[in-house]
Amino acid sequence: MRSYSLIAPAKINLYLEILGDHLSGEIPQPDGFHEMVMVLQSVSLTDQIDLRASGTDAIRVHCTHPQVPNDASNLAYKAAALMVKRFPDCFARYGGVEITIHKQIPVGAGLAGGSSNAAAVLVGLDLLWELGLTRDELQELGAVLGSDVPFCIAGGTALATGRGEQLDVLPALPNLYVVLAKYRSLSVSTAWAYTTYRQTFGDSYVRRSDDLEERRQHVHASPMLTAIAQRDGTKIGQRLRNDLEKVVLPEHPQVLQLREAFQQAKPLGTMMSGSGPTVFALAESQTHAEQIQAQVKGAIANSDLEFWIAKFNPSGIQIVE
Ligand code: ATP
């Protein structure tokens, strides 16, 4: 039986700006789609996904992490089900697949762990079924599963607009280090964060211009993109932004405290990732990262707090065997 193992990296948001709650010309969507400008960065905190042609006619998912479902609600399962639907002849020829997820990326953490797992299944089934899909074709499939999935396929550094699924590759960044921290027992629902943001700040964006060109100029004038073009880690650190902090930090005082402790530790910059509750800090070296981690651990002595030190990852899904 053929098998593949793939490495699926987490991402952080270097920039997350919410422009509005509908795309130009569209009626506001009750299910919470927002028009976004994001800068996404892969990091070297990864899951491993093993795929094996099972010879049965079923998709099966195994993951021992208590918060990850092993049924059809798992994003990796959904990715395989989408491939079965799109390529029924391959499914008939090769049969079902066993998907084993070795989870290291914290769950419900704003690090796109589930999306990255789904991206790995798309890439892996393309190989297992000898489809030869292009990256664009894989990303189109990924967009059906979730707006972070297309980014997770290609990885590296990218500007994401629209609902987050329209990607422009950005120049690879200097090899910065990232210290990540999260309270083990805390997770934040992405849907809750966006709904609360809309309820609280919706008045300020529903009247935005519908002029697409004006919005495009707004995106490209972003100081963060200038800092990235200059590959300047210090400026990147100063220009981090995440609009969702405005709803998540007041709701979770311990995340606010963590964010403040990171700030005190003199990083290049610190921010919450995605809808949280993971907070990250950028560092210029391994030593700098270790100093930041030690200082935050000293400031908040709490055994529920987990830390990781990672590096910027220049790519997305990687095949290991
Ligand atoms: P994002 O940053 O894309 O919003 P996240 O990092 O906040 O994602 P995930 O770790 O992807 O969140 O998990 C969100 C939810 O999805 C959890 O409730 C989890 O149970 C469920 N889930 C389904 N499939 C997976 C998977 N393969 N890995 C992790 N979580 C999964």
In the prediction, which pLDDT does 2 show? 87
| Span from the CA of 63 to the centroid of ligand 1 (angstroms) | 13
**Residue 89: active-site member:** no
Q: Which residues, 6+ apart, have CB-to-CB distance to 320 below 8 Å?
A: 5, 6, 7, 48
- Domains along the sequence of the chain with CATH: 3-171 (3.30.230.10), 177-311 (3.30.70.890)
Q: Which of 11, 78, 103, 182 is catalytic?
A: 11
Q: Which atom of ligand 1 is nearest to the CA of 111?
A: 6
Strand partners, 95: none
**Residue 243: active-site member:** no
Beta-sheet pairing, 3-20 with 318-319: antiparallel
| Residue in 174, 153, 317 with CA at minimum distance from that of residue 235 | 174
Q: Which of 21, 47, 50, 148 is catalytic?
A: 148
Q: Which atom of ligand 1 is nearest to the CA of 106?
A: 10
What ipTM was assigned to the predicted interfaces of this complex? 0.94
Give buried/exposed letters for 277-293 (b at 16+ CB in 10 A, else e).
bbbbbbbbeeebbebbb
Q: Which residues of the chain have pLDDT under 70?
A: 1, 22-32, 204-221, 321
In the prediction, which pLDDT does 12 show? 97
What whole-number distance in Å separates Cα of residue 171 and Cα of residue 119?
22
With a 6 Å cutoff on the Cβ, whether 49 touches ligand 1 is no
List pLDDT tens digits, range 78-100. 999 999 999 999 988 999 999 99
With a 6 Å cutoff on the Cβ, whether 117 touches ligand 1 is yes
Residue nearest (by alpha carbon) to ligand 1 atom 26 = 114
Q: pTM for this structure?
A: 0.92
